[in-house]
């Protein structure tokens, strides 16, 4: 009896080693498309739509300024603009505009997490517009800019080359 059980257990062990449970449900491309809100620095994942600086200014005044101040100058919450050129000064002002290397990060973050009290409520056009507005304050994009899936990843951020990857090891 015990011998039989031992043999059975070994057979099961061998089977487990040979295969894993495979209990995942296969996803359709349509399901993946709805779930995938990641926007990459090269623009992969950006949705259709567009937004202008002027449209973004109106949305910002209505939905963002209460926390982030006029023109994103900050207070009571994070400062979003300014600080360009300050990073090596010893008094760095890190803002999305002065510090973040990819313009797409603003779109990605605003779309998933902002406004704080109503995340994921902005339309794609509104997110493009708010991104354009923020980038226009310090002249990263012109005042008449319209951002979309093609123009947003082409925006050259002031600190585009400012990050040094410490993984898998510090550079030599």
Residues that bind other proteins (CB under 8 A): 16, 20-27, 31-32, 35-42, 67, 76-77, 87-92, 94, 96, 99-102, 104-105, 108-109, 112-113, 116, 119-120, 162-168, 170
Q: DSSP code of 71?
A: G
**Which burial class, exposed, middle or buried, applies to 105 when counting CB atoms under 10 A from its CB (0-12, 13-18, 19+)?**
middle
Listed as own residue / partner, the contacts of 113-121 with beta carbons closer than 8 Å and 24 or more positions apart are 114/64, 115/63, 115/64, 115/67, 116/67, 116/77
Give the up-direction half-sphere exposure of residue 83: CA atoms within 13 A in the CB hemisphere. Answer: 24
What's the min distance (Å) between Cβ of 114 and other proteins?
9
Q: Which of 137, 136, 145, 119 is nearest to 50 (CA)?
A: 145
Looking at beta carbons only, is 1 or 35 nearer to other proteins? 35
Looking at beta carbons only, is 102 or 136 nearer to other proteins? 102
Looking at beta carbons only, is 52 or 134 nearer to other proteins? 134
What's the min distance (Å) between Cβ of 119 and other proteins?
5
What's the min distance (Å) between Cβ of 143 and other proteins?
25
Looking at beta carbons only, is 11 or 144 nearer to other proteins? 11
């Amino acid at each position: 009896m015990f011998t039989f059980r031992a043999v059975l257990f070994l057979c099961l062990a061998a089977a487990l080693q040979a295969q894993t449970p495979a209990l995942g449900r296969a996803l359709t491309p349509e399901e993946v498309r709805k779930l995938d809100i990641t926007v990459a620095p090269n623009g992969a994942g950006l949705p259709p739509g567009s937004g202008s600086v002027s449209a973004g200014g109106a949305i910002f005044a209505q939905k963002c300024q209460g926390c982030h101040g006029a023109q994103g100058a900050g207070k009571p919450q994070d400062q979003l603009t300014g600080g360009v050129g300050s990073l090596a000064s010893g008094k760095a002002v890190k803002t999305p505009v002065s510090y973040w290397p990819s313009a797409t990060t603003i779109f990605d973050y605003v779309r998933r997490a902002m406004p704080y009290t109503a995340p994921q409520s902005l339309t794609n056009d509104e997110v493009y517009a708010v991104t354009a507005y923020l980038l226009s304050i310090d002249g990263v994009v012109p005042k008449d800019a319209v951002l979309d899936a093609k123009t947003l990843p082409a925006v050259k951020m002031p600190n585009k080359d400012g990050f040094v990857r410490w993984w898998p090891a510090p550079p030599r």
